[in-house]
Amino acid sequence: MQFLNKVFFSLFLALSGSSAFADYTWNFPTPATPMALDTLEVHNKFMVIVCIIFIVVLGIMIYSLINHRKSKGQKASKATGPSTKSQIIWTIVPFAILLYIDFILMGIPAYHSVVFMEDTKTNADMVVKVTGLQWRWQYEYMDGDAKGIKFVSNLSTPQDQIDNKASKGKDYLLEVDNRVVLPVGKKVRLLMTSTDVIHNWWVPAFGSARDAIPGYLRETWVKIEKPGVYRGQCKELCGKGHGFMPVVVEAVSEAEFKTWAQDQKVKLAAANAGADKQWSKDDLVAKGKEVYIKNCAVCHQAGGQGLPPTFPALTGSKIANGPIFGADGKYLKDSHLDRLLNGKNVMPAWKSILNDTDIAAVITYERNGLGNSVGDVLQPSQVKAARQ
Amino acid sequence: MSTKAAIHHDEHHDHPKGMKHWFTTTNHKDIGTMYLIFSLIMFFVGGIMILGVRAELFQPGLQLMKPEFYNQLIGSHALIMIFAALMPAATGFANWMIPLQIGAPDMALPRINNWGFWLLPVAATLLILPFILALFGVGDGGAATGWTLYAPLSVQGGMGVDFAIFAIHILGVSSVLGSINVIVTIFNMRAPGMTLMKMPLFAWGWLITAFLLVATIPVLAGAVTMLLTDRHFGTHFFDAAGGGDPILFQHLFWFFGHPEVYILLLPVWGFMPQILQTFSRKPIFGYKAQVFSLIAIGILSLVVWAHHFLTAGMPVPALLYFMYSTMSISLPLAVLFFCWIANIWKGALTFETPMLFAIGWIILFGIGGLTGLVLADVAADAQYHHSYFVVAHFHYTLFVGGIMGIMAGVYYWLPKMTGHMYNEKLGKLHFWLTAISFNLTFLPQFFVGLAGMPRRIPDYALQFAEFNAISSVGAFILGLSQLLFLYNIIACARGGKKATDKVWEGAEGLEWTLSSPPPYHSFSKQPTIK
């Protein structure tokens, strides 16, 4: 059978003339957590059961289709229901078997799986908050060694690959700039929420999928058993970027996790320190461009032309060219800074996603690039002050 | 009334000619024909939309369309196929066949019948209009939310969502009118002697469908109205920041959405035993068991809705309730399968096109049913949910259970409706092409879903490429094969071998006692059932 599959696919590949195809699978990916293992076992068992039912019933049908033909001289019986004792038994037996399959053979393991899956709290070692945003994930470590670490994870596949202008990499669409790092062997409780629409955080190898719903906390858990990189995707339609917000988890040993957490804290401190220093305009514009490409270009487009009417153009926009601060030194309502910090309608509130330096940089970039030339500079310290 | 008098009675009406006739007709067969033609047109519109999607998915990368447009296509495909192709086809059959089968001269409420139909083209226009407007730079196209219109995505969406909301309202009114008509007709206009338990199963299936529609359409109408006020009038039904709940929309939507599945399937489950009976020349097996199973499924379908969003997060007891109640649907459904197969058993089988479709339907719909049983398992559902596994599953239920079932019905009743036999060779070719290319399209989607491909994505990772390519090839063959169907219907309507009154050797039931095509006022003389 395996051989036949290979032949079939080689033939198909030859016909379609494409060689960039990676491996294919027929079933769930190799489980990496106890929950995924449980799910796979339950799934395999159920599949065997339904395949047996299907084959038995199909067999009976095919027997009848071959033998009970008019062309073979078959005279139609006039039975309209079971009449003799043995016929009644024949009718009740399949029904009883199905009752047994539904509520005993499938029902009992299914019950245990549900209870196992929903038990997020017992012996949980750490808590990570996952926030879905259009169209990226934000991770925040709530306790333990990594407490306070918070970052956003964006798709890192270049647009050229998506537009077929460059050849596609091995992890096409399943690669991000910042992987979420988790220690192996620890039960991690994942709290899910969202800031805009409903998303769903799904890694097939973990067997867990849970919606991230704005204004609500939902939870699931993972206990990764082997170090490695695990990839998944958003599984709830969340707008045009739905296919482009992957989940990439890097599972490492506990010691490595501690080192990673330490590194992140140092980087975070450096970034925060950056907020207090005076930046040059060129530095801000250069940094701002990076931030813009990563976070803003998906809607407002790389050249700032936007996708009206939903995503307005920044080039020549009133907000990006208007004043930021009023006479009293406070930022104005509906100013460029206000819009970035607090968002409006589809525009997210970036104050919880980007740090002061990033916000200052991207605003400076938008006012001095993308065809705009306001000429002013917004310093990170001003953003920091505006947050107060 | 003598035959001569009947003819005289027919002539007595001064029917308007041309288009005016079709606008004003109150005749159940005319209206049924319009429903069926409308359904056929929309079947191709919805089909073309999804071929665009399959073309985009043929290979990884974005080749043909932007993700925004892709999202509009998938949602509109579903809305059109469900509301404008499948439901009108079932209503068309109801109009044609229920009066014939229960021995009535017409539907009970003929003017409501006419109105029920003419609302449909309006609604379909509302579904398609945003696409056309977008071509002229007005708005940003259709609803890009999937047919489920989940809030808050739909609150955020463009003008297309408003069009979809109004289309759903109008379609809902049309369905409720049609349903009331079916209920009133069945309860009041059966021929003497035709008790409810002697009534053909098609009428039974439709009676339950009609009750389900009357029970659930208002809930959907309420939900989309709340959505409309959330979008434009500052309410916060589905906005957590204003004290609302996004999951409330899912509950309301699927309280309608799950029974909707059975609304589409029950009429088919009704006439399928009749086709099996005809071509196995054996009486319907387990009539009473089938009636009670249909009723049981109708009732169960109202209480299992949350299995459509088990990953949204629910308390364990709720998860368990929805899991076991969903599994229990398999019991009455198994009774139906048992009866269908027992109907074939030891019959004298022949394999005309309707029978081929009926047999293919039992087998493939069986796959849909069994995968549904697996999907009920909450833990495994976390993996299946919103993956291509689910897409494959519901096409095995709705394309096979719905559309292939309707095709069986079309071939079965077409000679009765037109008075001509269709081309049997082409019909058989159409069946084989449909059945094979359907499996070529959707079987790979089970595997690609298990491997981890989410649905509703315009572009995918490389490991899903082979299956998607096969699926796209299958979809195009499937789409093109339907041109045979179209040709066969048109050819049959225009001419062909004269059909006898009974058409099929093993046909049973009142509709086969009338001429082919039946007289304008079906039963001028009331038949009596012993």
What are the Cα distances from residue B419, in Å, to A174, B185, B372, B492, B505?
59, 25, 40, 9, 16
Q: Which residue has the tokens 């919103």?
A: B386
Residues in chain A with CB shorter than 8 Å from the CB of B473 are: none
Per-residue pLDDT reduced to its tens digit, A145-182: 888 899 999 999 998 999 989 899 999 999 999 999 99
Give the model confidence (pLDDT) of A81-120 as tens digits: 888 888 888 888 888 999 998 899 889 999 999 999 999 8
Tell me the shortest Cα–Cα distance from A59 to chain B, in angstroms: 11
pLDDT in the model for residue A84: 86
Give the per-residue pLDDT at B132: 92
Does the structure show a pLDDT above 50 at B393?
A: yes
Whether residue B5 has pLDDT greater than 50: no
How far apart are alpha carbons B119 and B111 in whole angstroms?
Answer: 13
Which residue among B150, B344, B454 places its CB closest to the CB of A64?
Answer: B344
Q: What is the pLDDT of residues B215-239, one digit of tens each?
A: 999 999 999 999 999 999 999 999 9
What is the crossing angle of helices B67-79 and B28-56, to 10°? 150
Side chain identity at B57, as an amino acid letter?
Answer: L
**Residues B85, B123: contact at Cβ < 8 Å?**
no
**Would you tell me how many other CB atoms lie within 10 Å of the CB of residue A312?**
18
DSSP string for B312-347:
G---HHHHHHHHHHHHHTHHHHHHHHHHHHHHHTTS
**Under 8 Å between Cβ of B516 and B419:** yes
Helix (H, G, I), strand (E, B) or coil at B247: helix
Q: What angle do CA B195, B200, B202 make, to 5 degrees?
A: 130
**Torsion, Cα of A49, A52, A57, A60 (10° steps):** -160
Nearest-Cα distance to chain A for B455, in Å, is 7
pLDDT score of B14:
60
Q: Which chain A residues are closer than 8 Å to B466 by Cβ?
A: 9, 12-13, 21, 24
**Collapsing DSSP states into helix, strand and coil, what is residue A69?**
strand
Q: Which of A202, A208, A237 sits opposite B456 (nearest CB)?
A: A237
Share of chain B above pLDDT 70, in %: 97
Among the partner-chain residues B382, B447, B459, the one whose CB lies closest to the CB of A39 is B382
pLDDT band at A14 (very low <50, low <70, confident <90, very high): very low
What distance in Å separates the CA atoms of residue B327 and residue B323, rounded to the nearest whole number? Answer: 6
Least confident residue range of A124-133, A262-271, B277-286, B456-465: A262-271
Q: Say how far apart CA B511 and CA B499 lie, in whole Å.
A: 14
Given this model, what pLDDT does residue A18 score? 40
User: Any residues with CB less than 8 A from the CB of B173 and at least 6 apart, and which?
Assistant: B119
Asked if B347 lies within 8 A of A68 by C-beta distance, the reply is yes
Beta bridge partners of A194: A132, A214
d(CA B520, CA B29): 8
Q: Which has more confidence, B479 or A301?
A: B479
pLDDT of residue A80: 84
The closest CB to that of B140, out of A68, A174, A309, belongs to A309
Q: Does the pLDDT at position B404 exceed 80?
A: yes
Question: What is the model's pLDDT at position A17?
Answer: 39
Q: At what angle do helices B405-418 and B465-494 cross, to 10 degrees?
A: 10
Q: According to the model, what pLDDT value does residue B13 have?
A: 56
Q: How many residues does chain A have?
A: 388
Single pTM value for the model: 0.89
Host H or E run for residue A139? strand A136-141
Question: What is the ipTM, given to two decimal places?
Answer: 0.90
Q: Where are the alpha helices (DSSP H) in B57-188?
A: 67-79, 87-102, 110-135, 153-156, 159-188
- pLDDT above 80: residue B448: yes
H or E, element range at A218: strand A218-222
pLDDT at A229: 95
**B74, B290, B463, best to mutate vs chain A, most A CBs in 10 Å:** B463
Give the tens place of pLDDT for each residue, A133-154.
988 999 999 998 888 899 999 9
What are the residues whose beta carbons fall under 8 Å from the beta carbon of A276, sequence distance 6 or more? A380, A381, A384
Rounded to whole angstroms, the Cα distance separating A77 from B285 reads: 11
List of chain B residues whose C-beta atoms are within 8 Å of the C-beta of residue A24: 447, 451, 463-464, 466-467
| Region for residue B175 given its phi and psi (left: phi exceeds 0; alpha: psi -120 to 50; beta: otherwise) | alpha
Report chain A residues whose CB lies below 8 A from the CB of B454.
202, 233-235, 243
- Identify the CA nearest to B424 among candidates B279, B305, B316, B227: B279
pLDDT value, residue A7: 44
- Please state the rounded mean pLDDT for residues B414-434: 95
Supply the pLDDT for residue A221: 94
pLDDT digits (tens, 9 = 90+) for B306-362: 999 999 989 999 999 999 999 999 999 999 999 999 999 999 999 999 999 999 999
pLDDT higher than 60, residue A22: no
Taking only the tens place, the pLDDT of each residue in B15-57 is 677 788 888 899 999 999 999 999 999 999 999 999 999 999 9
Report chain A's mean pLDDT, rounded to a whole number.
87
Q: Is 90 exceeded by the pLDDT of residue A353?
A: no
Compute the C-alpha angle A67/A73/A78, nearest 5°.
Answer: 80
**In the beta sheet, which residues pair with residue A176?**
A155
How many whole angstroms separate alpha carbon A382 and alpha carbon B1? 95
How far lies B5's CA from each of B2, B13, B513, B524, in Å? 5, 13, 19, 10
Q: CB distance B385–A209 less than 8 Å? A: yes
| Half-sphere exposure (Cβ direction) of A385: Cα atoms closer than 13 Å | 10
> Does residue A4 surpass a pLDDT of 80?
no
Collect all residues with Cβ–Cβ distance below 8 Å to B220 and sequence separation of at least 6. B168, B172, B252, B253, B256, B257
C-alpha dihedral sign at B248, B253, B255, B258: negative
> A310 and B140 in contact by Cβ < 8 A?
yes
Spatial distance between the Cα atoms of B352 and A69, rounded to a whole number of angstroms = 12
- Closest Cα in chain B, distance from residue A113 (Å): 6
Neighbours of B295 (CB within 10 A): 15
Q: How does residue A12 score in pLDDT terms, banded at 50, 70 and 90?
A: very low
CA B241 to the chain's CA centroid: 38
**CA B525 – CA B329 distance, rounded (Å):** 42
Residues 6+ apart with CB under 8 A from B492: B414, B415, B418, B420, B421, B422, B423
CA–centroid distance for A147 within its chain:
23
3-state secondary structure of A201: strand
- Higher confidence at residue A275 or residue A223? A223
Res A67 pLDDT > 70: yes
Residue of B nearest to A21 (CA): B462
Query: Measuring CA to CA, which residue among A337, A329, A38 is closest to residue B379?
Result: A38
pLDDT score for B3: 45
To the nearest whole Å, the CA of B325 is away from the closest chain A CA by 10
Percent of all residues in chain A with a pLDDT value above 70, rounded to a whole number: 94
The partner residue sitting opposite B380, judged by closest CB among A46, A78, A237, is A46
- In the three-class reduction of DSSP (H, G, I as helix; E, B as strand; rest coil), residue A125 is classed as coil
Bond preceding residue B267 cis, omega within 30 of 0: no
Q: What is the pLDDT of residue A21?
A: 38
Nearest to A46 among B139, B289, B377 (CB): B377
CA-based torsion, A344, A345, A351, A357: positive or negative: negative
| Residue B83: predicted pLDDT | 94
Mutation for B interface: A236, A248, A249, A310, most B CBs within 10 A: A236
Helix (H, G, I), strand (E, B) or coil at B205: helix
pLDDT of residue B147: 93
* pLDDT reported for residue A333: 86
List pLDDT tens digits, range A232-255: 999 999 999 999 999 999 999 999
In the structure encoding, which two tokens stand for residue B38, read together?
């409308």
Q: Are B162 and B228 in contact (CB under 8 A)?
A: yes
Q: Which class in CATH covers the domain with range B26-513?
A: mainly alpha
Q: What is the DSSP code string of B101-124? A: HHT-SS-S-HHHHHHHHHHHHHHH
pLDDT digits (tens, 9 = 90+) for B128-177: 999 999 888 888 888 999 999 998 999 988 899 999 999 999 999 999 99
Q: Half-sphere exposure of A356 toward its Cβ, with a 13 Å CA cutoff?
A: 23
Taking Cα atoms as reference points, which of A352, A350, A349, A339 lies closest to residue A312? A339
> Per-residue confidence at A23, pLDDT binned at 50, 70, 90?
very low
Task: Name the CA radius of gyration of chain B, rounded.
Answer: 23
Measured N-to-C along each axis, helices B353-375 and B405-418 cross at an angle, to the nearest 10 degrees, of 150
Partners of A189 on chain B (C-beta within 8 Å) are none
Flag if B349 and A70 touch (Cβ within 8 Å): yes
Q: Of A25, A60, A196, which has the smallest distance from its Cβ to B152's Cβ?
A: A196
CB contact under 8 A, B460 and A23: no
First to last CA, chain A: 67
B480-494 CB burial, b ≥16 within 10 A, e <16 = ebbebbeebbeebbe
